[in-house]
Every structure is written in C-alpha cells, then in structure tokens.
A and B are shown apart, each in its own frame.
Chain A
Amino acid sequence: MLHGKSPLPGFGLGMGILLLALSLVVLLPLGALVGQGVAMGPVELAHHLGSKRVASALTLSFRAALIASLFNLVFGLGLAWVLTRYRFPGRRIIDAAVDLPFALPTAVAGIALTTLYAPSGVFGGALASLGIQVAYTEAGIWIALVFVGLPFVVRTVQPVIDEIDTEVEEASATLGASRLRTLRRVVLPTLAPSLMTGFALALARSVGEYGSVIFIAGNLPNQTEIAPLLIVIRLEEYDYNAAAAIGLAMLAISFTMLLAINATQVWNRRRIGHV
C-alpha cells in the first residue's frame, strides 16, 4: 500500500525508527509529566502553584528569557548581517565563535561569566565602581541567557540573508526608496519568518536554562530564584508532585508562547502572500 504512494522507498522503516526514537526521547518523558499532573488533579496543582514564591520564580524565568531573546533578536540579526554581507579578515573565526555557546558546557559558561562579572572580576569590578552590580542580580541572569540564546538567532537568519538578492535592494534604491525604507519594506519582511523562528528557539532554550544561570544568579527566593531551580529544590524535598506542577506550568506557558509565535508567522505569511 505504502509503496504505491511514494516512489521513495524506506518510508515504513524510516517512520518506525523515527517514532521509536521520538517516543523514547521526547514523548514518553513529557507524557509522564502530563500523567503526573493528571493524577494530581486540579486542586493539588493549584495548591502547588498558588504560592508567591512559585509565581515570582515563573515570572522571573519568563521575563528574563524574553528580555534576553529580544536582545538576541536585534544583536543576532546585526551579527548575521555583518557576517554574511561583508568580507573582512577574521570573519571565519568570528563565524565559528558564534557556535561556541552550543558546544561549551553551560556550567563552564556560567562559571566564566560569574568570574568576569563578580565584584572581584574584570567587568564586575569596573561596573561596581559605577555602582552597578551584575553578578547575583537579575542582570546576571540576562547575560547568561543572552549567551546561550545567541547562536539560535544568528544561525536561523544567516542562510536567509545569504539568499536575498542584492539586486532587489538595488532595484528598491533605483526606484527612489531611502535606505531605511528599503530596509523596512524589502529586507525585513523577507527576514521576518526566520527572525521569528530564531527568536522562538532562543526563547524556548533560555526559559529552561539551568546550568549557567545558577552560578551567576543569587538564587534568593522571590528575587533571583529561577523556576528550574525551584523544581530542583522541590525534588530535594522529595516533593515530586510540587516539582511536576512547576514543570507543567512551564511547559504550558512555553507551549502557549510558541503557539502564539507560530500564529504570528501564519498571519504574516498571509499578509505578505508569499515565502
């Protein structure tokens, strides 16, 4: 039956392996989490999520992730643009360095950033003399999240910039559009879908980031305690239900945000009518 549908062989085997791998790695753990939530029931879930401490941890995690991802959206676009459009010595090295946050263990990144931004560190010391504290405050969390999220934006936008014909921009210029107008009406609409994807990926990554953040955050309840740390703390108390409840809340919020971003993408595509 399947052979008749596609001239490409191997669908059955391929799909089988894929589903197996996906189930083992993604669907089963998520299913277990949701299952634990269902077993708890809404009353207990609300009880675990109702405290001020959980609310402030969740708010902090999503706020910091949003701020860091917005920063990465702008900064990552700029970096991708420069790397693709211009030729300069050292370009390849910078290009390779963008991937470092992927490769470096996040704990190492966290420790390195803390060393730099702590009051005894190089940047931290200079900032401290200006009365600004970075490590052990929310600003420290932003920096760690910017670090882990940056490659997602750069790497999704780069190939699209590479595809844009410079002739289109030249045409826009010869038709009398200003540089800003060309950027706004020609370049950005083409880049929008990949920018959104990169933003969504960076956001999703930084919401759940734990390894690098716990080193640079102060981890004080209600102030600099991120939601993933609160999950670990609940686990230390052997309170698996409370941990699962916070995990579920994070999953639900992330899912809603990704859904909203995707919906914007669809709307955007309809509006432009192509891509």
Chain B
Amino acid sequence: MSRTRPLSRTHAPRMNISFRRLALATLFAGGTAIVIVPALPGAALADTKLLNVSYDPTREFYRAYDAMFAEWWQAQGNPPVTIEQSHGGSGAQARAVIEGLDAQIVTLALASDIDAIAERTPALPKDWQSKLPHNAAPYTSTIVFLVRKGNPKGIKDWGDLIGDGVQVITPNPKTSGGARWNVLAAWGWALKQPGGSAETAKAYLAELFSHVPVLDSGARGATTTFAQRGVGDVLLAWENEAFLAQAEMGADAFDIVVPSVSILAEPPVALVEGNLTDDAQRAAAQAYLDHLYSPEAQALALANYYRAWDTSQAAPEDIARFPDLDLVTIDDFGGWAKAQPEFFGNGGIFDQIYAE
C-alpha cells in the first residue's frame, strides 16, 4: 500500500509541474519585459530632458537657474525642457560620468575633473575649456575663512591658522574639489611670504593639516561638522558656501574672515557631446550653458553668493558683498593638468605631508 500510493502521487504532480513551469517562465518573461521596456530609448520623447551633473554647493543656485532657464527657453518658442540635477563630490561626479552616467551637462568644481572625463572618454572634446567665455567658468568664487562669532581666536590670515590650539576644518582634498582650492590658496599665501619657497610652503601645509581634526569627504560635510557639530575654530570654505552658512544659520553665529591672499576658484561647465541624442537636445543643452552668461543668470549667480562677470542686472547689495583681495590663479600653478598630479595624485605633495 505504501508502495503504490507514492508512485501515483508523483505522476499527477509532475504534469502540474510542467504547467507550473510554463506559468513561471511566462511570469519571468513578463516581469523582465515590464522592467526593461520603459528603459529602452526612444520609447516616447514628449519633451527634451537634460541631466546636469554638478558638485556639492551648487544645489541652491542650479535649482533657481533650472527654473529660470526652462521658462526662458519655452518663451523663445522652443518645446518644453525638463532639467534634472545630480549633486555630489566633484571627483565622484566626474567618475560617474566616465562610467556611463547619461549626463548632457557637467558643472564641476574644477577643470581637472572635466579634464578627467575628456581624457578617459571620447564623449567630451579635449578643447572643451575654450568653447565658452572665461575659461568656461560662468561664475567664480574664492576661498575664505568662516570663524565663530566675534572671532575668539583672533584669526586674520593664513598664518594664524597654525597658532596654538587652533583647529581647522577642511574637507579632504582627495575627495573634494573645494578642498583642493583650499590647499592651493594656502600654498599661494605661503609662497608670497618673505623667504617663501616650495619647501617653506610644504612645511606650512604640513603644519596646517596637523591642526585639522576631521577630514570630511565633501564641502557640505565639512560645513555641517563646523556649523552644526561645533567642531573647530575655522572652516576653510568656498566663499559662496560661507555666505550661505551665514544666511542659513543667522549672521550672529559666524563671521567671515577674508585672508590677505586667496585663489580665484573657477568652477567650469561643459557639454558632454557624446551623450547628446538628437538636435533638439543639443540645442537645449548648448542654450543652457550659453544662457549662464546672460545678465539675468549672472545676477542670479551673484544673488547665490558667486562672483560673476556681468553685474548689469544684479542688485547693488549682491555686488557690494564681495571684498577685493589678492587672488592667485590656477595658472600660477601651471594649470590643473600640472597641479593635479603634483599636489593631489597618489604620492603627491598632499600624500607626502601625511607620510612624514
């Protein structure tokens, strides 16, 4: 009895199983189709889509600019355009584009990150920086100090940062574009001191980083560590980030100290030509970059605490905000192509000051 029953049992289910298999396979195929089909290109292109891959502190500016551009573009009699934003550490964003992120526009913290895309993919022409005015930098910024209200440690210039008991907050130059400008600005100041040379500048940099208790990976993280966690006496920050922190947290929390020497930070923009699919998208993307130089966009950049070229439509208080100071430029370092490996490459000056 126990021998015959299992046999007949196994027969019946086996028939069912093949049906079940069929059903399963259909389910699988159906499921896969549902997942894949919408991802296929050219399924339905109602309006033009652009992806702008940018760095950390530009969130507020591009949120406003995207709305301004979309409206202006449509008012010119063009089909509507939708702009998507992606923000993160400049280096990580460049790597995402290299590895295939479908960005039509890159707006990064420094030229060497866009150079990296041009070097490693054919999507971006090598001469990208000559395609737009002002080295393809529609707005600029510089590096300033953000200190606690009343400046209790009496910090006035770079030399005060290595005073006894002073703690300095900066993001990690390895992962943050802004922090690379910090390092170069410090170097520029040290070179201009009496008897300044590459050796004294390197010694100063080593001393400076021995005063750094935390290295955040990005500019926003460093601002949070300083402003909200209450760590450190000075934050080395983008000027726009310093103004923003002051505006967000209230002017009674922090003071901005402008050092005697800083650096002209040029965050450049470029078209990722290889990721443009049709003429409509190309026209919109090109206009998106060109329009950054228009008086109204320049006024918007100024209102978002960036230094811009065209002040014709800006509010007077947005212009008066920026003090004049002695600015070194990346050209003093031989351009990013030279400065990047020399200072921040594996085994470069920044690695050396931590190896000693």
Contact = CB atoms under 8 A, between A and B. Distances in A.
A237 B214 contact: no
Contact of B95 (A10, A135, A236): A236
Interface in B173-229: 174-175, 212-217, 221, 228-229
Interface of chain A: mostly helix, strand, loop or mixed: loop
Nearest to A119: B230
B181 to A, nearest CB: 16
Contacts of A13: 21, 24
A234 B351 CA distance: 12
A234 B346 contact: yes
Contacts of A120: 228-231
B190 to A, nearest CB: 21
A118 B116 contact: no
A115 B227 CA distance: 12
A182 B144 CA distance: 67
A49 to B, nearest CB: 13
B242 to A, nearest CB: 20
B216 A136 contact: no
B354 A53 contact: yes
A218 B221 CA distance: 12
B92 interface: yes
Interface stretch (A37-45, A147-155, A168-176, A219-227): A219-227
B10 interface: yes
A218 B174 contact: no
Nearest to A232: B175
A53 to B, nearest CB: 7
Given A236-B174, A237-B346, A238-B95, A219 B214 contact: yes
A239 B346 contact: yes
A114 interface: yes
Interface in A118-140: 118-121, 135-136
B116 A238 contact: yes
Interface in A1-58: 7, 9-10, 13, 51-53
A68 interface: no
A109 interface: no
Interface residues of A, number: 32
A210 to B, nearest CB: 10
A214 interface: yes
B95 A118 contact: no
A100 interface: no
Given A233-B174, A242-B346, A121 B13 contact: no
B35 interface: no
A235 interface: yes
Nearest to B17: A9
A223 B217 CA distance: 16
A120 B253 CA distance: 14
A236 B93 CA distance: 10
A9 B13 contact: yes
B120 interface: yes
B231 A118 contact: yes
A119 B214 contact: no
A236 B175 contact: yes
A235 B17 CA distance: 49
A52 B175 CA distance: 20
B267 interface: no
B14 A114 contact: no
Contacts of A7: 6, 10
Give the one of B17, B120, B172, B230 with max A CB within 10 A: B172
A220 B354 CA distance: 9
Interface of B: 6, 10, 13-14, 17, 21, 24, 89, 91-92, 95, 116, 120, 172, 174-175, 212-217, 221, 228-231, 344-346, 351, 354-355
Given A218-B214, A229-B217, 20 more contacts: A13-B24, A53-B354, A53-B355, A115-B228, A118-B229, A118-B230, A118-B231, A119-B230, A120-B230, A120-B231, A135-B231, A218-B213, A219-B172, A220-B213, A233-B172, A233-B174, A236-B174, A236-B175, A237-B346, A238-B116
27 contacts: A7-B6, A9-B13, A10-B17, A52-B355, A53-B351, A53-B354, A53-B355, A114-B229, A115-B229, A120-B231, A121-B229, A136-B231, A214-B217, A215-B221, A219-B172, A219-B217, A220-B212, A232-B175, A233-B172, A233-B174, A233-B175, A234-B346, A236-B91, A236-B174, A237-B345, A238-B95, A242-B346
